[in-house]
Amino acid sequence: MRIVFIGTVEFSLRALERLVALDAEIVGVCTLQESKFNADHVDLSRVSAAHGIPCFYADDINSTAALSWIQSKAPDVIFCFGWSRLLKQDLLGLAPLGVIGFHPAALPSNRGRHPLIWSLVLGLDKTASTFFFMDVGADSGDILSQREIQIVDQDDALTLYEKVTQTALAQIEAFLPQLATGTFQRIKQNEQHANTWRKRGRADGIIDWRMSAQSIHNLVRGLTTPYIGAHFLVDGKEIKVWKTAIHKDAANNIEPGKVLLQSSTGPVVKCGEGAICLLVTEPAFEPSVGSYL
């Protein structure tokens, strides 16, 4: 089964490496040299070269040049794992088995942008790893494989990213032979259960001390490495927050943003509800007790 692989994020690299280890017939790779859309961008040209796989830089994956290059590889199926642009019908129709996409959410729920971040920021206790047959919509095609993933209080973007990756790699190993033998199943998505998460911007990462301690903690969990980090400003200077812990026994009759104490693990700040300890900041941050952020 001839496969053209499209991707440009860390998961793309992990998936491509797993396919190579499974002796899959990768006849071409499309990637990006750089990306302003993905904090976890990876250029797949190096791993492609290491395994003798032809590689094409596709600044516009729907361009005539990209379509011609992919078509020249005569793929049976196209895998698109980690690409921020929608694929148009001309590309979707190039391979007999179609294009398989990946979305780390429980489709049809939670389509759209930044699914790992949103799952943590909203405090969800579970998500999923989903592979689906791409159509011209966003994350709306028939499902090929889906597995549920539990989210625990200790999870952050990095640990959840790894959970999703390990689950997804096991799914690839399971459905690859099904695609090759035609024994796979297609499950239509129920549109009545569908919703779409919007694109997040830099302003969504600003810490507002009027938020509850739990909400701020979830925001930090969602935006920590490999993403850009939650942040706040002090005298016009940006402080990034990479790790927090909810502080117990905070008085309710204190204004949000007040520094309550300087503990051994970091400053404790009053929130709209509760208080939070700033465990890891960049740069290191030691405000005066009693000051306001």
Tens of pLDDT along the chain (293 residues)?
A: 999 999 999 999 999 999 999 999 999 999 998 765 556 789 999 999 999 999 999 999 999 999 999 999 999 999 999 998 889 999 999 999 999 999 999 999 999 999 999 999 999 999 999 999 999 999 999 999 999 999 999 999 999 999 999 999 999 999 999 999 999 999 999 999 999 999 999 999 999 999 999 999 999 999 999 899 999 999 999 999 999 999 987 777 789 999 999 999 999 999 999 999 999 999 999 999 999 99
Give the tens place of pLDDT for each residue, 62-80: 999 999 999 999 999 999 9
Q: How many CB atoms lie within 10 A of CB 82?
A: 26
CATH topology assigned to domain 2-197: Rossmann fold (3.40.50)
Give CATH for domain 202-282: 3.10.25.10
Neighbours of 194 (CB within 10 A): 16
* Strand ranges (E), 7-109: 25-31, 55-57, 77-80, 99-103
Are 33 and 102 spatial neighbours (Cβ–Cβ below 8 Å)? no
Distance (Å, rounded) from C-alpha 123 to C-alpha 152?
A: 10
For the chain, residues classed under CATH 3.40.50.170 are 2-197
Residues of the chain with CATH 3.10.25.10: 202-282
Q: Which two tokens stand for residue 248?
A: 């117990």
SS3 label, residue 174: helix
CA gap 48, 75 in Å, rounded: 17
- Residue 144 DSSP code: E
DSSP letters along 199-258, please? PP-GGGGB--TTSBHHHHHHHHHHHSTTS--EEEEETTEEEEEEEEEEESS--SSS-TTB
